[in-house]
Structure 1
Amino acid sequence: MNLRISDVMTQDSVNLESESFKDKDELFRHLASLLYKSGKIQSQEIFVESLYEREELGSTYMGNFIALPHGKSMTVNNPGIAFCRCMEGFAYESQGEVGQVKLIFVLAIPKETDPNDYLKVLSMLAKLLMHDEFINELYSSLSYEDVIRAVKTYESIVD
């Protein structure tokens, strides 16, 4: 399986106009609702539980106003990525680290997915987020089409 971010991020799972969140739980529930609406998951509650299970293993706060929470669960129908941009950052706590976040990508991975494939997608996303130009495009995007164009452009650069 050779998943590309641009293959699994749908218009239904991108929110560019989010208000700030009061906490991580509110964020997780919002992102789970986007994945549910896009048909990627069967249960918002079970997926949120998988996000918290993953949080127990290590921080998903990446610094630079970015968080990459992810969950692997039986409730995931198909791999998916939800993206949320908050113009006002909020305090994101993960494994004792606290930082302001504005850009959040959440990965929904089916339980049976090979761990290497899962890590490849996560690694690709992390590589994209190392490019300041990519991050700037995410901040300036006006639509899903802008976001997906930026993802495809930088996927081809780091691939």
Structure 2
Amino acid sequence: MDITKILSVKHIKLNMTAKNKREVIEELTDLLVNDGSVSNKDEFIRDVWIREDQGSTGFENHIAIPHGKSASVNHTTLAIGRTQQEVPWESLDGSDIRCIILFAVRLEDQNTTHIRLLTQISSALADDEVIAKLLVEDDPENIIQLFNTQAEVNI
């Protein structure tokens, strides 16, 4: 899957001010609301919290992948953010989080595009080099390319 169809530079914020999980989700959701990807901020955030209540989306190595499957999503997309300090988040390895990949999924895509996208992102995050670059890269274009390059390797 060509990640550029799902992720644009306007959905990447590498200097987030959020200090906790709630602020992270709100700050990333604002990116999606501002460009029309999400039509109702409160409804989308509610759906993200419903998913979080089912089990934490903290990955490992300071990465979290929260997601909301919601009627308020106009088109399935991602938002990526990196905080200036570690944020407490329940994760597989017990580490606090610095990089967050927020999935915004249309209900119609929850069993198709969402699964392919989640597989692609998870596969990329299995590579320690990708994670290391994700935690320090300052150019949003390079972050997008990082996921596209990884997808090409896995074909």
Cα 1:45–1:114 change in 2 (3 A) is closer
Structure-2 separation of matches of 1:88 and 1:122: 25
AA matched with 2:4:
S
What is the 5 A alignment of 1:8-157?
Answer: 8-19=6-17, 21-93=18-90, 99-157=95-153
What SS class does the counterpart of residue 39 from structure 2 fall into? coil
Structure-1 separation of matches of 2:23 and 2:4: 26
Runs of 4+ in 1 over 6 A off after TM superposition: none
Structure 2: 5+ residue stretches without partners: none
Deviation at 1:80, TM superposition (A): 0.7
What SS class does the counterpart of residue 102 from structure 2 fall into? strand
- Say if 2:78 and 2:101, in contact at 8 Å, map to a contact too: yes
More strand by share: 1
* TM, length-normalised to structure 2: 0.90
Structure-2 separation of matches of 1:149 and 1:32: 22
Cα distance per residue 1:41-60 (max 9 Å; x no partner): 10111110110111122220
- Say if 2:69 and 2:110, in contact at 8 Å, map to a contact too: no
Q: Report the count of equivalent residues.
A: 155
Please identify, of 67-76 and 142-151, the stretch whose mean Cα deviation from structure 2 is larger: 142-151
Structure-1 separation of matches of 2:35 and 2:8: 7
- Say if 2:134 and 2:143, in contact at 8 Å, map to a contact too: yes
- Say if 1:89 and 1:101, in contact at 8 Å, map to a contact too: yes
Deviation at 1:145, TM superposition (A): 1.2
* TM, length-normalised to structure 1: 0.88
RMSD of Structure 2 on Structure 1 (CA)? 2.0
Cα distance per residue 1:119-147 (max 9 Å; x no partner): 22112111100111111222232221111
Deviation at 1:114, TM superposition (A): 4.5
